[in-house]
Amino acid sequence: MIPIIFFLFTQDVYEVEGVVVTATRYPIMLKDLALATTVIEKEEIQSLRPRDLGELLQNCAGIDIKDYGTGSLATISLRGIPASGVLILIDGQPLNSIQTGIGDLSVIDVNSIERIEIVKGPTSSLYGANGLGGAVNIITRKERGENYTVARVNQEQGIGKKPYYSNYYLQFSIPVSRHFFYKMDCSKNDTRGERTNSDLNSFSLYPALDYRTERIDINSRLNFLMRDYGLPGPMPLVDSLHFPPYFGDSTASSKFDYEADRVGLASFDLNYRLTGNIQIYTKLFTNLQRIKYHSRYFSFGEITEDYNYSQTTTGMNTALFFHITCGNFLLGLDYRHDTLSAKKNALPPADTEWQAEARNFGYWSSNNFYLNKFLNLNLSLRYDRNSSYGDFLSPQLGLVIQLSSRTWLKLSGGRAFRAPGFNDLYWPVYGNPDLKPEDGKSGEIRLETSPRYYLFTAISIFARRIDNRIAWLPGEDGLWKPQNLNWTAIDGGEFEVRTKIGETMKFSLDGTYLFARQKNQELVYYDIWTSEMRFEEHQRPAAFIPQLGISLKLDIFFKKDLSLNITNSYTSPRKNYYENWSKLPEITMDTKTLKEFYLLNINLQKSLGRHTTFVFGSKNLLNAEYATQFGNSISDLDYPMPKRTVFLQVEWRD
């Protein structure tokens, strides 16, 4: 009914035939891509004024963000697939950790983002490891070459609380010559959290130099991040029966744990057009991360531990692109070398030092064939050869059927995998070098229609199965080690509606329903005297996955220089399971639930002349108390998210 009403009063807003995505490793029209894909343009980012990348993505269909608090680790779940199975790319360069497989969204400054492409189907046939759930390609490049400068100051504070967030951002671009273009982004964040030991200080710098001619495009990027932040842990339960933690207080499990990150990303891209129909793409990249983690805790005495991790990834991608009469053909080779050096210093003395490395070769092909004017075939295939976990073959098949001039039926299916991380494979004593990748298969039916330029709607039905899930369980020697044991199944549906009503209003509505199950091997019996153990297989609703998520965004334009954005989102409850050892030798499983929550964010933007914009708004206006990340035990109070805040942002552009 909603689309019918909008038919009568709307004007141009969404031209699906004009949208081009590059997360598929070559430019393709959105209407020709069988995999469900969402594109977030700069205009929408400016409208929402998000504090960070997680807040921006949370409002998209199929996405759930798990956040440990302001400035801390933030991860993405895509249609129920956890963060270790979602590939995070920045300008096409993988960002996922070689230790855990997780891509940390908080290392990317949302101010520098020009565009985001979210592919919601398996992408291992294009990128290899960690493409179980899809890929999020974050684009910081600008295509324009003119002089411009952007300066932005953002101050945010809780009601009746001390200021806890400030951001200073500067961006400028200079055309050095007719072919050379230089760009620089820099950002400074300062957080003073409501909880003890939740402060953060960070500085990021993104210089870039581009060279463009009719036949050659060269893009070079450097990304630097320096970040220091406290790790308060979950909120402890403190009452008349429960005392504060030994090194904590009523708001934090730890007053002394902290982490210091130093991240450096570099990439060099060359696109050479041999002819009008043949191009060569080459990317060289490196990812350097230095992580220091400090922890103090009490376990039969005071223990202090300092962990130092040095992660290095270097790699190369090259591809040959052919445009032929009936479609496009892409043939590629990827190589990457990952190394890890880890060291733990502890008091009392219990020092540990270990190293690990892996090499991966990926051979792939991606094709798009126009069978006739109504049928479009997407076909991709990739073979990965890894020195740590062996081989994996990832096929992907998609078919786009044009039902009318502006309606498309899209069918897709494929196989993808999540690689075991270095922690799973090589952790001293406990690692398991015999692990295999998690193996996922998926299928989707999607209907997209844009009957008018101002209206876009989409409905998807999908199913996913993941075998060989990695879980840590005790072995015959009593040591907890990762093993390929578990299984997950996710069936679901998704809808998207976007439109514009006249010249005064934009509207979007997104929703996702997930029916997720897990089948895990669980420890149900342990005799501490004989070390006898028994395991049973149990099927339960999948942990961590909310069943329902809905987002509604509304932009109202009062005048050309005055606008109001209202963002509403609802997330249903989610469950987690904790072992209960209180009745040994029997071990049971307790269920913990994070309650549902509704968030309302608003902001009012006023432009003064051509250069200055003021933004005033509130996040979590209704002061909801909620958490998205579980704690460590059944009794703690998890990781609470910020309550109501107000913010003022001043932006100057030239």
Could you read off the pLDDT of 612-623 as tens digits, one per residue?
999 999 999 999
Q: Provide mean pLDDT across the span 343-362.
A: 93
Q: In whole angstroms, how far apart are CA 502 and each of 449, 507, 561? A: 20, 11, 16
Per the listing, tokens 């006898």 go with: 532
**DSSP character for 419?**
P
How close are the terminal C-alpha atoms of the chain, in Å?
A: 44
Cis upstream peptide for 348 (omega within 30°): yes
In the prediction, which pLDDT does 1 show?
Answer: 34
Q: Pairing mode, if any, of strands 134-139 and 86-90?
A: parallel
In this structure, the chain runs to a length of 654
Question: Could you tell me if 643 and 651 are in contact, meaning their C-beta atoms sit under 8 angstroms apart?
Answer: no
Global pTM exceeds 0.85: yes
Q: How confident is the model at residue 14 (pLDDT cuts 50, 70, 90)?
A: very low
Select from 367, 430, 363 the least CA-distant residue to 397.
Answer: 367
Q: Is 274 helix (H, G, I), strand (E, B) or coil?
A: coil
147: burial class by Cβ within 10 Å (0-12, 13-18, 19+)?
Answer: exposed
For the stretch 435-486, pLDDT in tens is: 999 999 999 999 999 988 889 999 999 999 999 999 998 887 778 999 999 9
Is the pLDDT confidence value at 326 over 50? Answer: yes
Q: Provide mean pLDDT across the span 292-299.
A: 94
Question: Could you tell me if 118 and 63 are in contact, meaning their C-beta atoms sit under 8 angstroms apart?
Answer: yes
In the prediction, which pLDDT does 160 show?
Answer: 63
Structure tokens at 534: 């028994």
The residues, any chain, with a CB within 8 Å of residue 227's CB and separated by 6 or more, are 71, 107, 200, 201, 202, 203, 260, 261, 262, 263
Q: How confident is the model at residue 83 (pLDDT cuts 50, 70, 90)?
A: very high
- For the chain, the domains span 14-653
Nearest 5°: phi and psi at 371? -70, -40
For the stretch 515-544, pLDDT in tens is: 999 999 999 999 989 889 999 999 999 999
The total of other beta-carbon atoms located within 10 Å of residue 298's CB is 10
Average pLDDT, the chain: 91
Instruction: Determine the Cα–Cα distance for residues 69 and 52; give it in Å rounded to an integer.
Output: 11
For the stretch 177-193, pLDDT in tens is: 888 889 999 999 998 88
Q: In whole angstroms, how far apart are CA 167 and each of 225, 359, 605, 641? A: 14, 39, 18, 19
Q: How confident is the model at residue 16 (pLDDT cuts 50, 70, 90)?
A: low
For the stretch 228-272, pLDDT in tens is: 999 999 999 999 899 999 999 999 999 999 999 999 999 999 999
Q: Letter for the amino acid at 496? A: E
Instruction: Determine the Cα–Cα distance for residues 15 and 32; give it in Å rounded to an integer.
Output: 14
In the prediction, which pLDDT does 2 show?
Answer: 34
Q: Provide mean pLDDT across the span 325-344.
A: 95
Q: Is 31 helix (H, G, I), strand (E, B) or coil?
A: helix
Q: Letter for the amino acid at 481? A: K
CATH topology of domain 14-653: Maltoporin; Chain A (2.40.170)
Q: Letter for the amino acid at 339? A: T
**Hey, which bits of 502-596 come out as E strands?**
505-526, 533-541, 548-559, 562-571, 574-580, 588-594
Is the pLDDT confidence value at 37 over 50? Answer: yes
Long-range CB pairs of 624-628 (<8 Å, 24+ gap) are 624/597, 624/598, 624/599, 625/597, 626/594, 626/595, 626/597, 626/599, 627/594, 628/64, 628/65, 628/66, 628/67, 628/571, 628/594
